[in-house]
Amino acid sequence: MMIITLASSKGGVGKSTTTAALAGALTHAGHRVHIVDLDSNHTVSRWLGDGSRCPALSVSAGDPQDLTEHLSGLSNTVRPDIVLIDIAGAYERALTVAVARAHLTVIPAAPSEADIFEAARVARHIRSVFQAFGREPLYRALLTRVQPLASHAQLHAVNEIVRLRLPVLKTAIAQRAAYTEIGLSGLPPHYADASRPTVGKAVAELDALVAEIGALTGFELGVSQAMEVAS
Ligand SMILES: Nc1ncnc2c1ncn2[C@@H]1O[C@H](COP(=O)(O)OP(=O)(O)O)[C@@H](O)[C@H]1O
Ligand SMILES: [Mg+2]
């Protein structure tokens, strides 16, 4: 069971959107995906909760206090190939557990000074958690809500990431209608109307993200390899 944690203490950076979109991409590639929704607003549960649109995708709203128990419950019952944890910032203990259990922690950040400052703070938290366990953490910032036309502010944000030595995924998630619509339609881009350009672009971006995550973690995330992930 591969675990990916999406963490940021800041709201509005695209954690829930990216979680839902990535879950759709992974489900579409043939994996059984489960989202643990630790946000007390239960955003992802509302968007994808009834499971009717993607049968291989399930969601549970966990209590941040019981994340360890929740995860072992999942590995005995739902037995997903991949678990995505959408964690809202305030619960420090849950963040520690989610990061310690994850094969990869993704820190979404829009290209703004505030988001990148916050991402660097989360990265420091991750490093301190892993130092306590004597292990090397695997984490990456993920630029989200990137404007299709690169602005000065955006270039400055990228420079800031370099300056802070924040490791960042090469794939970025752009600001697109296909992502905004997840909350309204309950459809991640891979399950939306593929004839629309916004959907096609989001799908291409998400497939690149899946490939990059596969290469980073060593998990086979390609379509034909889905069975190998189950262990
Ligand atoms: N890549 C994106 N493109 C367009 N809209 C986005 C994107 N990511 C997030 N949003 C929008 O921004 C708002 C906040 O996103 P959300 O995923 O709920 O953030 P978080 O979970 O970090 O608080 C939502 O209204 C969502 O539709
Ligand atoms: Mg959220």
CATH number of this structure's domain 2-221, picked from the four choices 3.40.190.10, 3.40.50.300, 3.40.50.2300, 3.30.2130.10: 3.40.50.300
Q: In the structure, what pLDDT confidence band is assigned to residue 230 with cuts at 50, 70 and 90?
A: very low
| Mean pLDDT of the residues in the chain | 90
Please give the number of the atom of ligand 1 that sits closest to the Cα of 180: 27
Pocket test for ligand 1, best of 17, 47, 144 (most atoms within 8 A of CB): 17
Tens-digit pLDDT profile for residues 3-58: 999 998 888 999 999 999 999 999 999 999 999 999 888 999 999 977 667 788 99
Tens-digit pLDDT profile for residues 190-222: 999 999 999 999 999 999 999 999 999 999 887
Q: Decide: 142 and 122 in contact? Cβ < 8 Å.
A: no
Pocket test for ligand 1, best of 180, 185, 205, 209 (most atoms within 8 A of CB): 180
Whether 225 shows a pLDDT value over 50: the answer reads no
Cα 44 to averaged position of ligand 1 atoms, centre (Å): 11
Per-residue pLDDT at 91? 62
Cα 46 to averaged position of ligand 1 atoms, centre (Å): 14
Per-residue pLDDT at 90? 62
pLDDT-wise least confident of 66-70, 155-159, 196-200: 155-159
Per-residue pLDDT at 171? 95
Q: In the structure, what pLDDT confidence band is assigned to residue 151 with cuts at 50, 70 and 90?
A: confident
Residue with the bigger pLDDT between 181 and 227: it is: 181
Rounded-to-integer distance, Cα 1 and Cα 191, Å: 24
Cα 38 to averaged position of ligand 2 atoms, centre (Å): 9
Per-residue pLDDT at 107? 96
Cα 14 to averaged position of ligand 2 atoms, centre (Å): 7
Whether 231 shows a pLDDT value over 50: the answer reads no
Q: Which residues surround ligand 2, an ion (CB under 5 A)?
A: 15-16, 39, 43
Tens-digit pLDDT profile for residues 159-175: 889 899 999 999 999 99
Question: Which residues line the pocket of ligand 1, CB cutoff 6 A?
Answer: 11-17, 43, 144-145, 173, 175-176, 179-180, 183
Please give the number of the atom of ligand 1 that sits closest to the Cα of 19: 17
User: Nearest C-alpha to atom 3 of ligand 1 is from which residue?
Assistant: 175
